[in-house]
Structure 1
Amino acid sequence: MVAVLVILLILVGLPLLAWWLGSRRAWSRIDASGRDAMQVEREWMTRHRLDHVEVAEVGRAVSWGRALTDERLRAAAVERARMLQDAMRSWQEDRPRWAAVMRWLALAWLLVLVSALVFAVSFGDWPPGLFFALVAAASSWVSEWVRRRNLRRAIELNGG
């Protein structure tokens, strides 16, 4: 009887869960101003007269924080970096409670990791997953810092 209920739950519950998750606003490509992200992308490409190769070049320059030589591409890079900064800022402003919860969870995780590190050093017994947890924590914080820094550098180097 339990097996039948579990199978029914899987057969009915998973499609309902997929339907519910698929209809969530978080999955849509609508930005904070209510416009489709692909439409904004096409307008940006048209405004700067970019082809797909140049879009990739601008994207690399923005994500790595590098300067471009062509004035048209430089202007596109500055606008693209500002668009990405605005998107990051609007995400945090639209979800202040979620951002606060994530900051508190990150702080709690950091405290747990530091206390585990202190215990590992003081007792001389290194838990098996501690190294990977420390690497994951450091890489997530460093990658976010590098991303923000590269956006700022792309704006500064390309004349913003």
Structure 2
Amino acid sequence: IRGLRAGPDLVEPAIRESTPRAEKGSIIGIVATDAPFMPHQLKRLARRAPLGVAMTGGFGYHSSGDIFLAFSTANREAALAPSGRIASADFIPDTDIDPFFDAVIESVEEAILNALVANDDMTGRDGNFVPALPKAWLKGNFRASQGK
């Protein structure tokens, strides 16, 4: 987080795994925009979401069930065009899509960080336990890393 590697210094409380498993988890990401994109462009946006996961230290394993989708709320009129007529839709040219790739990566990273900070301890099936990110530890380390 902002260049601070939290994982190696976090010791307590530890994750408790009672169920052996090969995968390390799955994630579902939804990219929603009001920018006008064509279907092939939305597919390209969805393919950038795993880069946001990687920015937080996440990996994609063989058995994980990661799913990333993208949709646009633009061009509603095109979907409602009367039958038998030609419909038209606006779209952003492919040559101008790079800033949107950046936005997808940064927003996925931000969403994951927000979820980490907002979460509480969780005990799941078979007694599996995942602790919340210790907020006091994180706050103290950010202050120390920023010289405050």
The structure with more helix, counted as a fraction of residues: 1
> Which has the higher Rg, Structure 1 or Structure 2?
1
Q: Give the TM-score category using the shorter length.
A: under 0.3
Q: What is the TM-score of this pair, normalised by structure 2?
A: 0.25
The structure with more strand, counted as a fraction of residues: 2
